[in-house]
Structure 1
């Protein structure tokens, strides 16, 4: 249906054609953007955790004992998840001088304006 002008008489045909085209487009989009399978989280042991965060095993045991690092315990064995370790590392970010100055300026504005 390659017409540029649509008359009242051929309107039902045009609507049917457009409806078919939309259905085809939906099918193409659905096939190309199917939802990815959720990533399975596989636990890692203390040796792998040690390599990821760059700390010795005794240091990790101390962090676990002080409950400063996210971990799971099953029996006598410790398990970790890489994404949780990365989040733990990120949570310890130290602010730059510029960030500290911006925070101080925002705080000052709130109190004095």
Structure 2
């Protein structure tokens, strides 16, 4: 059916074939989609305090500075548990070796050479 020329008489067959193909594609795409995590739960500030083990004023400060992922609806702040856990994990301190390598790379990228003069004596 793929290489045949579609005529008016074969149109219902072609539409049926295409419908089946679309259904199969939808199933394959659905399998590729990430499944919702059990940790993707909306929590309020009290639960956020418990999860990241910080006081309310500290959480308000981190949200105000844009460091902590939060959602505001009206006067209330909401958080997703998995985002809070990811925030904690991303805040891991680097080892001295990683810090030294970054510092060396920054120094090397910032090196500027004196331009050669075009005037010759």
TM-score normalised by the chain length of structure 2? 0.50
The whole-number CA distance in structure 1 between the counterparts of 2:69 and 2:87 is 7
Computed over aligned residues only, the root mean square deviation of the Cα atoms, in angstroms, reads: 2.7
The whole-number CA distance in structure 2 between the counterparts of 1:42 and 1:89 is 16
CA contact 2:63–2:69 (8 Å) conserved in 1 = yes
Alpha-carbon offset, residue 106 of structure 1: 7.5
Alpha-carbon offset, residue 98 of structure 1: 3.3
The whole-number CA distance in structure 2 between the counterparts of 1:90 and 1:62 is 19
> Kindly tell me: are residues 66 and 49 of structure 1, through their superposed partners in 2, closer, same or farther at Cα, counting changes over 3 Å?
same
Other-structure match for 2:65:
66
Other-structure match for 2:78:
79
Task: Point out where structure 2 has 5 or more consecutive residues left out of the alignment.
Answer: 1-30, 108-121
> Kindly tell me: are residues 68 and 103 of structure 1, through their superposed partners in 2, closer, same or farther at Cα, counting changes over 3 Å?
closer
Give the structure with the larger helix fraction.
1
TM-score normalised by the chain length of structure 1? 0.53
Task: Point out where structure 1 has 5 or more consecutive residues left out of the alignment.
Answer: 1-33, 109-113
